[in-house]
Structure 1
């Protein structure tokens, strides 16, 4: 569970508005504003406030609150207005807030892990890679609210690949906007349309394409690559959706 932002992320965030939600119901229970690592301070709050009680209740159950940035890149006065609007929209009756508070999708609601990945991710250097990797750039329909299954389905097909090269990869990395979003261990590659049950009925689209079947990689491998920046493997102007590392 992320508990602090990197300095690079903090610089980009400026003032922001955030939401705490119940991980099971996805219902927001607290709205706040802040700078720096303010969003994480509530995790250490030992007061008897309704907000602190809710968070401690979740933590004692082995759960973590879902923490999202609602808007960022704001001046403090604007953050006050956004916070007040969010509280008014959700209503104090549904929140643990005790009082009412005072651009585009780019600055919209986003999980804290995603905002850290966007601005604070470390660069994955080729010299640090000792696995055979295939990187796949997924399309513009990606968003951080995708379920694990939806992201997997989006990543695994259909692709015009050199299937013999693809089959050499130990892992496939799902890449969006230069950041690794997930890591998959591949069991096999198959003709397009042969393993999907709901993806498409368009046989012509799947023709001469391939799809893989696999699972999310084990956690040590996942931590090694997930949320790392690989933008340098796809230089400006590069249209190729794939990149192979240590594969001939």
Structure 2
């Protein structure tokens, strides 16, 4: 795909600046915090949903312009690449505000999560957002099969645990005999040497956001196709089992949705951090 020409960039920049001016003028009185979407005019499908104030709705267009700037191009994301493709087709991104007037960012984020869930469940196809909306773990979509998970308490161990490996086992449970949680949790997994050498690691098997088993990992053994499986013993009273992990998964949702396992650390004081599966390794509150 050839870069947008300087003439086209100038024309697009003028149009975006006009939209920015209008959005900023209307923000305080008429828009406040709002939810918006970006749509591809070539197929009328929504490819991005966001929330914001002021000119946030068109900020992604500026990001795409920077990526297309022949003098100092920036790396494209899947979102900005789609925007550039639309421009190359001599079209302009169809952006629109779908909900407005929220007094706080949190209110807008809750509405954003609802819009994202509705679009992802439709025939539109998956959005290009890097992650689900904020507060999606609490206010986002829930399938009938996940209602049991909502009833469970959120995972929040009373003691510090430095290495908790969380494995998605919902598919494996259907393949092992008698829905054996241990058999489904122990592997096969793609896991590097550094993670295999942690002596204090605990494995958790997660089925639709609910922890079904917790095991102390004693050793790792080679399995098929460069994968590994562990031998371990069940752990009782760890504070990790029969708990809802939605707030943990939400912090590494993009990674988790691709079928990967994640690693988590708990401080025993209502904080956790993702140590594998997210670029954000900061401590976060368990909500």
TM-score range, shorter chain: 0.3 to 0.5
Larger Rg: 2
Q: Normalized against structure 1, the TM-score is what?
A: 0.39
Quick one: higher RCO (CA 8 Å, sep 6+), 1 or 2?
1
Q: Normalized against structure 2, the TM-score is what?
A: 0.34
